[in-house]
Amino acid sequence: MRNPIQKRIQQRPNTRTLRIFGVPPQVTKDQLEADLLKLSNESSQGDLKLSLVPANDTQISTVTFPREPPHFTECKPGQKISLNVEGICDQLVFDCDFFGMTPLYSATEPTVDIVAMTGLAGHAFGSWKSPGKSTMWLRDFLPLSLPDVRILTYGYDSALKGSTSTNSIQQYSR
**CA dist 121 → 65, 99, 127, 168 (Å):** 23, 13, 9, 11
**Per-residue confidence band for 46, with pLDDT thresholds at 50, 70 and 90:** low
Percent of the chain whose pLDDT exceeds 90: 33
pLDDT of residue 67: 77
**CA dist 155 → 19, 99, 115, 147 (Å):** 12, 4, 10, 23
Question: Could you tell me which of 159, 88, 150, 89 has the C-alpha nearest to residue 119?
Answer: 159
pLDDT of residue 132: 72
**CA dist 98 → 42, 44, 94, 111, 124 (Å):** 24, 26, 10, 25, 6
pLDDT of residue 133: 79
pLDDT of residue 169: 52
Flag whether pLDDT at 126 surpasses 60: yes
pLDDT of residue 29: 92
